Chains A and B, each alone.
Chain A
Amino acid sequence: MSIYRSLNKEALSHKSMDGWHLNLAATDAKNKPLNFPMYEDSITNSIASYLEGLPSDLVSNSVTIPIVFHLILDDTEIISLDKGYQITFNVTNLLQDINNVFEQAQIKFVPAKRNEKGELLKMAGVNIIDAKNLFEYRQVSGAGSIRKYSDEGVSITNLIYNRNVSLGPTERGGYSYKSLLHTHSWDSKSIINILLINKFENNKTVLMAPNPYKVDMLNEESFDIVLPFFALGSPQRYGYSYTKKTPAQLEVYNSLNGFTGTANTSIAYFGIGHHSAKPLLKGLGHLFGLASSNVFDLHLVETESNYSDSSCNNYCIYSDYRNKSYCGSCDNLDTNKYYEPWVKGSDCDNGDDIFISLSENIMSYYKTDNAKYKLSTAQILRIKANLGLKYIDEETQIPFQGSLSKLSQSSWPSDRNYNTPVGVGRDAVNSCEEFRTSSPAAVSRMSQGLNNYSALNNNSSNFNFIKIVNCIKTITEKNNG
């Protein structure tokens, strides 16, 4: 079965880490076929016009976009590192890490201050959802009719394609992804919804993210990103921890701790290490119209055991998925190549590619611990072109804005002046030199400042304490020779 045909059954490969390519399957949606080549042409023309100084819809200025993290909790301790004593989920660190990357495209994410009803959020940018009893009725052969979130996690599609098991797609459990978005996502045209879940049912997928053109053309409600907590990596930095209290969490816990061998390799791959939420960065890239830099050849992926090294890459654009199969099959396994379609002469075959390290690029499947992730110039331009997407209603000939354009003009109550907390607290203690150059009176004032800062952020207080301890150690060891 061709990849194209399998995808049009809306079945996800059992080895896919990213459900993004389901977007491509929509090219052949019966009622509203999507014209991805037209979309690609529009983006390319917009960029080319901008580069040549001609009128262009490309958004060249900086934009600020509200964001909210919905924490879908089957057990509250997942957002607590100290067994439920305090919420340690650290949205500040998460925002800092994604803003550091998207700053390159002049995009700043700011945390929502209020919910859909206009009520003030207890923690800006965070909406906690009690999902202990989240379930739906859906019959799965051999597994009853109740699909409970805390037992099975979230299913992307009801069908999973695994040629090792069956030639056709097979039914799977899990609380439905669409139900989750329908119930818990806020107005997607005004705010970016990031839904953090316990896990995806298939234990392989780490991300579901939208494409703006598909959302606009099919008039879809959801323009949201869904990923499991473990996909963020860095549990200490982001303040989450899997427990053994629900079957879904236990499954992840066992994988993270090596109790289940290599069965759930994507959990072990992304769940361990300090990769600064790589799948989330990739999901945001998709949301702004970027395709994966390396795309699975499902045949290779399914017939070989590896899940990242066996993927092909390079043709990182949306195009005619059915005929040219740009993203479906390729035989170039050089993972250092990157295709920039509007660069004259750029072609994967003639060596004119712009080289970029995929391990540092947000749109690859790779994670790199402690990496400073980058966007290529081409990706930045594509994002800016997607931000300016406009359409013309074929019947009325009236132009209308795309979803991203609306998002960038959203008036959702959010902290517009949001900046990652720095200054008197964290920065002051990052370097002993700051103290060295300060008078005793200034040190005293700084300490008071630390206390004030700490009142806002208890966790920072604790680590500031250690940083000062380390300063004393440095100074005294030097003096004691």
Chain B
Amino acid sequence: MALDIKLKIETTEDCKNLVISDVTGVYNETSNPGGWGGFNIDGNRSTHNIGLYMVVYHITDGEEYSTPINITNFSSTVNYPTEKLHRGFKISIPSYDISTEVANAPYLTTESYDPIQEVLADSLYEIIVHVNGSNPDYDKEFKFTFRSICNSQKAVEKVMGQINLGCEDCDDSDIDSALLAKSLLESLKNMR
């Protein structure tokens, strides 16, 4: 089996950073044939490079965009647990780094898109890892999809915490709205 990169993609607790970690692991003939090393490349940093870019989906002024961006500072911000290998790399990308790149897209003619977003917008992100190098020659890209719901989760938790289900004389509209928001959040979690 060829190298099969696996990533853990998540947001930080405060929704401000996107954290991408390589969890591919070490090659094992039976338990992890897609891992680094063995019959696959070992991901030596002196012979192979890793590049990262993303496609950010957003709706701005009613128009649907899927904007490809480069993570230009990948090499300067990535952390490696080992001295020479890419294996286990981890990078934390601040939200505003992503929003700035999106805002700079040449075809985004509107100024409605906020270039400095403090928290990572809940949306769909496609993350592409490009591994290439020589000795042995290797050039492949791996694509991952991440659906961020960090902000929605927090907002729903907040409204659910505020409603009083035991109040018989209260206006039910807030309760209905909160339950609707919770249902929609569950729908997001279940979307493939």
Partner of A480, one of B128, B162, B179, B191: B162
Pick from A11-19, A380-388, A443-451 the stretch touching chain B: A443-451
Q: Is B147 an interface residue (CB 8 A)?
A: yes
Structural contact, A473 and B162, CB atoms closer than 8 A: no
Structural contact, A469 and B152, CB atoms closer than 8 A: yes
Residues of A within 8 A of B192 (CB): 451, 454, 461
Pick from A47-55, A77-85, A301-309, A329-337 the stretch touching chain B: A77-85
Residues of A within 8 A of B141 (CB): 85
Q: Is A180 an interface residue (CB 8 A)?
A: no
Q: What is the size category of the interface that chain B forms with chain A? A: 35 or more
Structural contact, B191 and A454, CB atoms closer than 8 A: yes
Residues of B within 8 A of A472 (CB): 152, 155-156, 181, 184-185, 188
In whole Å, how far is B47's beta carbon from the nearest beta carbon of chain A? 24
Structural contact, A81 and B66, CB atoms closer than 8 A: yes
Partner of A273, one of B109, B156, B187, B190: B109
In whole Å, how far is B53's beta carbon from the nearest beta carbon of chain A? 8
A129-159 to B contact mask, C-beta < 8 Å, 1/0: 0000000000000000000000000000000
A272 to B105, CA, bound (A): 12
Partner of B59, one of A81, A435, A466: A466
Q: Is B118 an interface residue (CB 8 A)?
A: no
Structural contact, B162 and A81, CB atoms closer than 8 A: no
Main secondary structure of the interface of A (DSSP, over half): helix
Given A436-B180, A444-B187, are A459 and B152 also a contact pair (CB < 8 Å)? no
Partner of B66, one of A257, A436, A459, A476: A459
Q: Is A471 an interface residue (CB 8 A)?
A: yes
Partner of A466, one of B123, B159, B178, B181: B123
A105-122 to B contact mask, C-beta < 8 Å, 1/0: 000000000000000000
Closest A-B pairs by Cβ, 4 of them: A447-B187, A476-B155, A469-B122, A479-B159
Supply 16 further A-B pairs (C-beta < 8 A) apart from A443-B180, A476-B155, A476-B178. Answer: A82-B128, A236-B64, A256-B106, A436-B177, A440-B180, A461-B191, A463-B57, A466-B57, A466-B59, A468-B191, A469-B123, A473-B122, A473-B152, A475-B159, A475-B181, A480-B159
